[in-house]
């Protein structure tokens, strides 16, 4: 079969290779696109690492820690934290539950609408997508309202509920620090982001025979205030900084925090929502889990600094615009669509 060869799939694997090759055939007559790795230089760097124990220490250390968080959010849009208060055994349990879930047969994940409320997603669903916009991954992306309201007492739901409540507290803590730093009422984001307006996303990136050609997750920014990410030891997350892709080295026990579009707009570009992507490898699958701090759909995002870089918009409007752009162009445009034209 030569080039047409497709690796044998485990019963839980989505048909990523077949789908990708079909897309490629239609688009390029079968030739390979430019290498993911070669497009732009990749360099490995340590993300700023912040020890949150300092927040529980004396006044001086506490203030220093807050400054580190603000500085990293301004300069990197990304940082990692240690001593974050989420027990290691809860992270291990979440990972075990996540693995159990992804090991269910592909057909069941796809068709069982009771399995985490039909929140399963794989590859790239937008119909007009091009091969270079294809994501080599699968995910369960679910609103926390579902976890809290389901009343479902399966082990995954109860572990997720515990994790969600811990990680929400942590997210609020960062939001307060960053809000206070730009001179706003620290409780502002708490009033807009309710426990059930946020999202949890469990990602799995199967090993990939074509890691030079395809990304696990396409370059994107997150459409939220901030994201808290837990990744395993495999590595693959990269962020775009100073014109280069920077590979984020996994740090045992750390959580990664990144600023989303809403914080960038609301802070009038003080904090940076940075583009990131995931690369895949031939040898190993990878798991990660992201918590997205999102407001209610009616929340208005408007910078208090005038003139503001972005026009006033509601979160509902932002989401709709993103969905529309993905449908039309195969990818998200994001904040550039909301620039204030003066
Ligand atoms: O898996 C990762 O490391 C990143 C995931 C991510 O960026 C997302 O889910 O938005
Ligand atoms: Fe992301």
Structural class in CATH, domain 16-309: mainly beta
Q: What is the average pLDDT value for the chain, to the nearest integer? A: 90
Do 238 and 277 meet the contact criterion of CB atoms below 8 Å apart? yes
pLDDT confidence of residue 341: 82
The answer, yes or no, to whether residue 219 has pLDDT greater than 50, is yes
User: 299 pLDDT exceeds 60?
Assistant: yes
CA of 58 to the centre of ligand 2 (A): 34
User: What is the average per-residue pLDDT within 323-330?
Assistant: 86
CA distance 309 to 314: 15
Residue 238, pLDDT score: 96
Nearest alpha carbon to residue 262 among 305, 229, 221, 218:
221
Which pTM was predicted?
0.93
For residue 232, give the ligand nearest its CA. Answer: 1
Q: Which residue, by CA, sits nearest to atom 1 of ligand 1?
A: 288
Which residue of the set 201, 204, 277, 286 is catalytic? 286
Q: Which residues line ligand 1 (CB under 6 A)?
A: 201, 203, 217, 222, 229, 231, 237, 276, 278, 288, 290
80-139 residue pLDDT tens: 999 999 999 999 999 999 999 999 999 999 999 888 888 999 997 664 556 667 899 999
DSSP class of residue 185 equals -
Please report the pLDDT score of residue 207 as a whole number: 96
Residue 90 in tokens: 């809860």
- Tell me, in angstroms, the distance from the centre of ligand 1 to residue 341's CA: 32
Mean pLDDT, range 159-181, rounded to an integer:
96
d(CA 201, CA 119): 9
Q: What is the residue extent of each domain of the chain?
A: 16-309
The structure tokens listed for 65 are 């820690």
pLDDT at 107: 94
pLDDT of 230-279, one tens digit each? 999 999 999 999 989 999 999 999 999 999 999 999 999 999 999 999 99
DSSP 122-135: ES---TT--GGG-B
């Amino acid at each position: 079969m030569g080039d047409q060869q497709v690796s044998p799939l485990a019963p839980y694997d989505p048909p990523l290779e077949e789908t990708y090759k079909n897309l490629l055939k239609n688009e390029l007559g079968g030739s390979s696109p430019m290498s993911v790795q070669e497009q732009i230089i990749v360099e490995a760097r340590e993300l700023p690492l912040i020890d949150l124990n300092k927040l529980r220490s004396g006044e001086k250390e506490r203030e220093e820690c807050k400054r580190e968080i603000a500085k990293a959010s301004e300069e990197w849009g990304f940082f990692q934290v240690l001593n974050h208060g989420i027990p290691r055994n809860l992270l291990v349990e979440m990972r075990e539950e996540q693995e159990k879930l992804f090991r269910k047969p592909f057909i069941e994940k796809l068709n069982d609408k009771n399995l985490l409320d039909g929140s399963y997603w794989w590859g790239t669903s937008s119909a007009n997508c091009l091969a270079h916009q294809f994501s080599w991954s699968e995910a369960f992306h679910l609103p926390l309202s579902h976890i809290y309201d389901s009343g479902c007492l399966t082990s995954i739901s109860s572990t997720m509920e515990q994790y969600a409540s811990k990680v929400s507290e942590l997210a609020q803590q960062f939001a307060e620090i960053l809000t206070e730093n730009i001179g706003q009422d620290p409780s502002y984001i708490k009033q807009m982001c309710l426990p059930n307006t946020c999202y949890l996303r469990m990602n799995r990136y199967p090993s990939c025979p074509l890691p030079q050609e395809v990304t696990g997750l396409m370059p994107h920014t997150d459409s939220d205030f901030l994201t808290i990410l837990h990744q395993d030891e495999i590595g693959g997350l990269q962020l775009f900084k100073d014109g280069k892709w920077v590979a984020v080295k996994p740090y045992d026990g750390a959580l990664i925090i990144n600023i989303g579009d809403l914080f960038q707009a609301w802070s009038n570009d003080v904090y940076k929502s940075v583009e990131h992507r995931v690369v895949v490898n031939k040898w190993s699958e990878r798991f990660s889990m992201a918590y997205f701090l999102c407001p209610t759909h009616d929340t208005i995002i408007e910078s208090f600094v005038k003139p503001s870089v972005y026009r006033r918009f509601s979160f509902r409007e932002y989401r709709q615009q993103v969905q529309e752009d993905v449908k039309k162009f195969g990818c998200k445009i994001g904040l550039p669509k909301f620039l204030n034209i003066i």
